[in-house]
Structure 1
């Protein structure tokens, strides 16, 4: 018996960098989602300098059968990319896939849980190193 196609896929959208190590934290979030919610398709996408871009990531998830996309901008603030570039890219994505519902969350840094954790990290003593 085959399992039903997932209905919602998650795209973790980062800025991108020429440095491949830069992707590690976003990919770690993707790995945690895969471990905690293996039924939820999740992939990373990047605005520039790194593949896949948003359209490619969306195509991958849609090919897996998702009908809804949840885009999570992995930015600390709502700068030019979040205000201008992401809405433009999402409009292009909706035009290419009119039958797919697309939800864009606020930048993760705008979430009070993230800012609380960052404040905690900044004020705690560093763990001892080996």
Structure 2
């Protein structure tokens, strides 16, 4: 079974998480047959490892991690690969893969342009 993890940075303010919760809810409404979990790099839970563990318990065998970051900064170039490798080592029966940061996708950038144009 395929599954998705939406991976964010995390923050001290719990309200920062609200758009991520809405994003996961949108995923569930539009893709009810594919489980989704949130995961955070720091300051919030669940961790990437915890999210993988939860999805594994639900029967996932292939998990795609989607970094919900604007760009490939130091966290995604340095910290994230280490976390992903640790998860792969801990859960060898799961095929883990990752996309680029969502902010590097032209459709996401266009959505921001469209949002900005509506604000005029």
2:11 equivalent in structure 1: 17
Task: Decide which of 25, 28, 34 is 2:28's aligned counterpart.
Answer: 34
1:95: how far off? 0.4
Give the structure with higher Rg (CA): 1
The answer as to 2:100 corresponding to 1:116 is: no
Unaligned runs of at least 5 residues, structure 2: none
In the TM superposition, what is the alpha-carbon distance from 1:124 to its structure 2 partner? 2.1
Q: Residue by residue, what CA displacement relative to the aligned partner does 1:1-39 show, whole Å, maximum 9, x if unpaired?
A: xxxxxx111000000011111011111110001111111
Residue in structure 2 matched with residue 77 of structure 1 by the alignment: 71
Using the alignment, how far apart are the partners of 2:119 and 2:5 within structure 1?
33
Calculate the TM-score normalised by the size of structure 1.
0.89
Long gaps (5+) in structure 1 = 1-6
Give the alignment's Cα RMSD to 1 decimal. Answer: 0.9
Deviations 1:83-103 (A, max 9, x none): 111110000000001111011
- Structure whose residues are more often helix by fraction: 2
Question: Matched residues in 1 for 2:86 and 2:60: separation?
Answer: 18
Deviations 1:76-122 (A, max 9, x none): 01100111111100000000011110110000000000001111112
| Structure 1 stretches of 4+ moved >4 Å | none
Distance in 2 (alpha carbons) for counterparts of 1:90 and 1:13: 11
| Matched position secondary structure for 1:102 | strand
Please name the residue that 1:92 is paired with.
Answer: 86
1:53-87 CA-partner distances (Å, limit 9, x unpaired): 00001000000010011100000011001111111
